[in-house]
A and B are shown apart, each in its own frame.
Chain A
Amino acid sequence: MMMTVQILFIIFAPFLFLGIINRIKAMWAGRKGSPLIQPLYDFLRLLRKGEVISKTTSIIFKIAPAVNLSSVIFAFLILPLPAIGAVISFDGDFILFAYALGLAKFLAIVASLDTGSSFEGMGASREVTFSTIVEPAFFILLGTLALLTGQTSFDAIFNLLNSSAGYTVLIKILFAVSLIIMILTEGSRVPVDDPNTHLELTMIHEVMILDYSGPDLAFIFYSSGLKLVLLSSLLAEFFIPSNSVFSLIIFIGIIFLTAALIGIIESLIARARMSHVPQFIFLMTALSLIAFAVVISFLRGGL
């Protein structure tokens, strides 16, 4: 029963996640806003449509959206979710987690270059540049987790992390903030990217998918929503008490809170100037390094 709820939640969460962000932004602007499940309607509409495909493109353009979706789903199987647990769990599974998303990114970038459009080349170039900052920072975060718990799989790490108390609260907060920066970057949200703009020279992710339409666009749309939920679930993992009946409720609550937080951030601040974005993402590196330093000084009795 709990398991079914969990699976159903993850399937529909991407739509709700985006719906909540939009609703919060609308409320903040004093508008009524679209229905909460508007993203679902959009998704279903796209699935019913046919496609227009550029003559310049090759098979890569067609396989990228499907691989994108499958890699996000696969990454979900590695996370130890409440009520399900981790479907795949072994030593070093977090490396596979990061690299599965990397495979999707590679194909998405190559697919956008496949169209030969200068706009999409620009988006790809920026996407990959910002990834070069996010990825090492994420690995510092993972390394800090391994240092803190002495474990090397998500399942074992979170089991140990959430049963211990004390100074880990500080670390968890540092992790949470750096993960939120990662969510904003990887999920292409303000201040890194603005998903609402079309045809502006500052956009990143939206411009990479300009040539997609119909079911393929629906796949991309869904997988980027699912990726947001995936990273928020990772964030939620830090705060779920292990072996609790409420863990599922807390999990769902945190995901929606993250969505609300993203909505609030988007309402409050504008997109950063392109040259300032790296500085913002480097904040994640800095926070992860601080977390590492704190952990090492606590565990090893000073540097």
Chain B
Amino acid sequence: MSYFLAGILLFFASGMITIFLRKDEWKSIIFLIGAIASQFLILPTLFSSLVFGNSFSTIIFFSEPIGASALRLDPLASVFALIITIGSLLASIYSFGYMKQYYRGKYSLSTFYFFFGLLISSMLLVVIAQNSFLFLIVWELMSLSSFFLVVFENDKEDVRKAGIYYLIAMQIGASFLIAAFAWLSNLSGSYDFASFKIILNTQNYIAVVLFSLFFIGFGTKAGFVPFHTWLPRAHPAAPTGVSSIMSGVMIKTGIYGILRIILLSGVPEIHLAYAVFLISFATGVAGILNAISQKDIKKFLAYSSIENIGIIGMGIGLGMLGAVYNIPLIEALGFLGAILHTINHFIFKSILFYGAGIVYQNTHTRNIEKLGGLIKFMPVTSMLFLIGSLAICGLPLFNGFVSEFAIYLGLAKGFSYTSVSLNIVMLIGFSGLALIGIMAMVGFTKLFGIAFLGTARESLHKKPEEGSSPLLLPMIVLAVFIFVIGISPLLIIQILYPVLKQFMNVDIESTLGSVLSLYSSLSGAFILFTGITLIIFLVRKYFLKNKKVKQFKTWDCGYQVESSRLQYTGSSYSLPFLELVAELVPQKTIVESQHDIFPNEAHLKTSQHDFAERFFVQPILKFVRKFLTMFAWIQSGKMQQYILYGLIFLLIILIWIFGAL
């Protein structure tokens, strides 16, 4: 445990040191060395926790009001710590290459690395802090440090706006957590998480309200609809290394929080289980629907993170339902799916963000309508991006399928249980997950097909180039993870064994045994599939041997004008689908043209609205603003008035003191 804490400190320190360095090159190198060195400190502890199921704990004494605080590293915390550590290492390698464009520029690299180090160490502390006071402090540190990373390019107005929006959203979420923790500590008389068990385990309204507060608080961080609106704003604003950390790693701390509360609550209340499941389903659908309508690569990926949070949440909801109805297999499959998908989403979302970063670095645009044909200039990046896209759509042979399969199977198992409401919700989830999956396919075929394939839609001022090796290395590592988990999922499931044990209390061995044997047969099927595919490739090669293969232009059906502008655009590609769901993704079209005898220059602008934001978040914000403007007179800007406030305050104090005497 002390090595683990030393690793956290090293992350922070290596960020701190960069403040004192003058050369930008050195800052990057020092931070990278620090990130690599802390792996050696952190990973052995995690390894022993996950493989042998060990728990570590230590108590740190702070001065009041925090007091003695427990830091515990149990298997659940270890899984998330593993994601954070490896994610941070990869992001550090990536940033080492990516931040080169900022060397000797107007933005301070020291600020970047300082807050990067702080973000990583606070995330690691979040998963081990088991004292509500300490937890809230590191939670806020995490939000604040990521805020400073979001506003890295602070002279751009939209970046600042996104940053402020993010900060406010985080504070709203945190206020729910503060309320929940304060109430809980008051009831239990202690700040320690372990003492919350008794309160949360009672099946009364207090436990339900507390869980709801926690769900909103953690859900804001994770990005559950309708608390997701900050994601598509904050992710595109941050530098790519940070967006990948935020999207792949940081929002998972919200998932961690929810799982931790479930772990403390024991068997959940039945309505809560249904609510979590259905909210997650709505999150998944809303996330991917909005993603499809995006033109901005990073916004697209941010919305797709919301979709994946929805899938993870469906797994959690399923696990809760399994616990409620006392069906161990469903419980195991649900939590397994949720945790596995958390890991998987980290892997493929990072690879996609890294790819998007390379595209942005080379083309200086995130708008896919301006791109096209990138696969000719950056074949490696493109293929890695394709692998990430296939994985995120949950297709077999790639890691996304493995975790979605667990959730699917858990849902299918729910059909054999004789509860009509459970059966109906299982059907919603079962076909809903298929809907989310196929919509992800619409989105990612659009994203990949339009940006990387075909020919360039607009001429770029510079020819795009392949990403440099520090940019590609993390992507290659992640691609290896994708295939390893995708083809032999047992490797990772065995690591998750102790975590599942934490969630299950009855009949563990036989249930998990059947899950393991299931995955080994799945693995066999994948190997067979790969074999068949290879054979067919050989057959294809045989038939093409000694044949004339001619290169010619794309068959244009007799039209003689060759133009890349004739290609399908992203908007036209997704139009037929978006028309089907027009009510859920309302589109605003503004046409500016002057009607004259002869046609003039005209402008057309379309924008899609986020349904939940427009019909849920905005009305609430409007109401809050209206309510708060009633108090605007307090801040009038008149110095005399402010002095009056001071006088009144003093007067009250005087009266209070004399009254007490």
CB contacts (< 8 Å) of A105 on chain B: these are 441
- Does B405 reach chain A (CB closer than 8 Å)? yes
Tell me the complex Cα distance, A247–B382, Å.
49
Tell me the complex Cα distance, A21–B198, Å.
69
**Residue contact B536 to A70, C-beta cutoff 8 Å:** yes
Within 8 A of A (CB), among B382-433: 382-383, 386, 390, 393-397, 401, 405, 408-409, 411-413, 415-416, 418, 420, 423-424, 426-427, 430-433
* Interface 1/0 per residue, A78-101 and B, CB below 8 Å: 000000000010111101101110
**Residue contact B396 to A58, C-beta cutoff 8 Å:** no
CB contacts (< 8 Å) of B552 on chain A: these are 52-55
CB contacts (< 8 Å) of A150 on chain B: these are 415-416
- Stretch with Cβ within 8 A of B (4 or more), from A4-12, A122-130, A183-191: A122-130
CB contacts (< 8 Å) of B567 on chain A: these are 116-118, 121
**Residue contact B533 to A67, C-beta cutoff 8 Å:** yes
Across chains A and B, the number of contacting residue pairs, with CB separation under 8 Å, is 258
* Interface 1/0 per residue, B60-104 and A, CB below 8 Å: 000000000000000000000000000000000000000000000
Query: Which residue from chain A places its CB closest to the CB of B543 in the assembled complex?
Result: A215
- Stretch with Cβ within 8 A of B (4 or more), from A141-149, A248-256, A264-272: A141-149
**Residue contact B442 to A128, C-beta cutoff 8 Å:** yes
- Does B284 reach chain A (CB closer than 8 Å)? no
Tell me the complex Cα distance, A118–B418, Å.
51
Within 8 A of A (CB), among B418-468: 418, 420, 423-424, 426-427, 430-435, 437-439, 441-442, 444-445, 448-450, 453-455
Query: Which residue from chain B places its CB closest to the CB of A134 in the assembled complex?
Result: B438
For the complex formed, measure the closest distance between the CB of B84 and the CB atoms of chain A, giving whole angstroms: 30
Chain A CB within 10 A, most for which of B376, B434, B577: B434
**Residue contact A300 to B420, C-beta cutoff 8 Å:** yes
Interface residues of chain B: helix, strand, loop or mixed (majority): helix
**Residue contact B412 to A92, C-beta cutoff 8 Å:** yes
- Does A135 reach chain B (CB closer than 8 Å)? yes
**Residue contact B576 to A51, C-beta cutoff 8 Å:** no
For the complex formed, measure the closest distance between the CB of A22 and the CB atoms of chain B, giving whole angstroms: 25
Quick one: given A53-B550, A296-B424, are A60 and B386 in contact (CB under 8 Å)?
Answer: yes
Quick one: given A70-B529, A99-B394, are A116 and B554 in contact (CB under 8 Å)?
Answer: yes
Tell me the complex Cα distance, A90–B564, Å.
48
Query: Which residue from chain A places its CB closest to the CB of B456 in the assembled complex?
Result: A116
- Does A292 reach chain B (CB closer than 8 Å)? yes
Within 8 A of B (CB), among A250-303: 278, 292, 296, 299-300, 303
- Does A77 reach chain B (CB closer than 8 Å)? yes
Tell me the complex Cα distance, A150–B327, Å.
14
Query: Which residue from chain A places its CB closest to the CB of B551 in the assembled complex?
Result: A55
- Does B525 reach chain A (CB closer than 8 Å)? yes
CB contacts (< 8 Å) of B528 on chain A: these are 74, 77, 88
**Residue contact B525 to A136, C-beta cutoff 8 Å:** no
- Does B573 reach chain A (CB closer than 8 Å)? yes
**Residue contact A125 to B576, C-beta cutoff 8 Å:** yes
Tell me the complex Cα distance, A63–B387, Å.
14
Tell me the complex Cα distance, A214–B551, Å.
13
CB contacts (< 8 Å) of B540 on chain A: these are 65-66, 215-216, 219
For the complex formed, measure the closest distance between the CB of A221 and the CB atoms of chain B, giving whole angstroms: 13
Tell me the complex Cα distance, A60–B387, Å.
12
**Residue contact A117 to B430, C-beta cutoff 8 Å:** no
Tell me the complex Cα distance, A95–B411, Å.
11
- Does B625 reach chain A (CB closer than 8 Å)? no
Tell me the complex Cα distance, A6–B441, Å.
34
Tell me the complex Cα distance, A67–B396, Å.
12
- Does A199 reach chain B (CB closer than 8 Å)? yes
For the complex formed, measure the closest distance between the CB of A137 and the CB atoms of chain B, giving whole angstroms: 7
CB contacts (< 8 Å) of A53 on chain B: these are 549-552
**Residue contact A125 to B572, C-beta cutoff 8 Å:** yes
Quick one: given A131-B438, A143-B430, are A215 and B395 in contact (CB under 8 Å)?
Answer: no
**Residue contact B577 to A132, C-beta cutoff 8 Å:** yes
**Residue contact B532 to A70, C-beta cutoff 8 Å:** yes
**Residue contact A70 to B533, C-beta cutoff 8 Å:** yes
Tell me the complex Cα distance, A193–B573, Å.
18
Interface size on B, residues (CB 8 A): 86
**Residue contact B576 to A88, C-beta cutoff 8 Å:** no
Chain A CB within 10 A, most for which of B401, B415, B574: B415
CB contacts (< 8 Å) of A91 on chain B: these are 409, 518
Quick one: given A147-B415, A215-B544, are A106 and B390 in contact (CB under 8 Å)?
Answer: yes
CB contacts (< 8 Å) of A182 on chain B: these are none
CB contacts (< 8 Å) of A245 on chain B: these are none
Within 8 A of A (CB), among B347-398: 372-373, 375-376, 379, 382-383, 386, 390, 393-397
**Residue contact B553 to A96, C-beta cutoff 8 Å:** no
- Does B603 reach chain A (CB closer than 8 Å)? no
- Does A235 reach chain B (CB closer than 8 Å)? no
Query: Which residue from chain B places its CB closest to the CB of A300 in the assembled complex?
Result: B420
CB contacts (< 8 Å) of A210 on chain B: these are 555, 557
- Does A211 reach chain B (CB closer than 8 Å)? yes
For the complex formed, measure the closest distance between the CB of A56 and the CB atoms of chain B, giving whole angstroms: 5
Tell me the complex Cα distance, A282–B567, Å.
30
**Residue contact A211 to B397, C-beta cutoff 8 Å:** no
Tell me the complex Cα distance, A220–B399, Å.
27
**Residue contact A125 to B547, C-beta cutoff 8 Å:** no
CB contacts (< 8 Å) of A110 on chain B: these are 386, 445, 448-449, 453
CB contacts (< 8 Å) of B525 on chain A: these are 74, 88, 90, 93, 96
Partner of A51, one of B376, B439, B522, B547: B547
For the complex formed, measure the closest distance between the CB of A213 and the CB atoms of chain B, giving whole angstroms: 9
**Residue contact A125 to B573, C-beta cutoff 8 Å:** yes
**Residue contact B522 to A90, C-beta cutoff 8 Å:** yes
**Residue contact B553 to A55, C-beta cutoff 8 Å:** yes
- Does A115 reach chain B (CB closer than 8 Å)? yes
**Residue contact B393 to A106, C-beta cutoff 8 Å:** yes
**Residue contact A92 to B449, C-beta cutoff 8 Å:** no
- Does B40 reach chain A (CB closer than 8 Å)? no
Within 8 A of B (CB), among A39-80: 47, 49-60, 63, 65-67, 69-71, 73-74, 77
Query: Which residue from chain A places its CB closest to the CB of B574 in the assembled complex?
Result: A125
**Residue contact B397 to A136, C-beta cutoff 8 Å:** no
Partner of B566, one of A60, A118, A151: A118
- Does B615 reach chain A (CB closer than 8 Å)? no
Tell me the complex Cα distance, A234–B552, Å.
41
For the complex formed, measure the closest distance between the CB of A274 and the CB atoms of chain B, giving whole angstroms: 8
- Does B26 reach chain A (CB closer than 8 Å)? no
- Does A239 reach chain B (CB closer than 8 Å)? no
- Does A109 reach chain B (CB closer than 8 Å)? yes
Query: Which residue from chain A places its CB closest to the CB of B406 in the assembled complex?
Result: A92
- Does A28 reach chain B (CB closer than 8 Å)? no
Tell me the complex Cα distance, A88–B555, Å.
41
Sample of 19 A–B contacts (CB below 8 Å): A47-B543, A50-B548, A51-B547, A51-B549, A60-B453, A66-B533, A70-B533, A95-B412, A98-B434, A103-B396, A116-B455, A117-B567, A131-B438, A138-B434, A139-B433, A147-B423, A211-B554, A300-B418, A300-B423
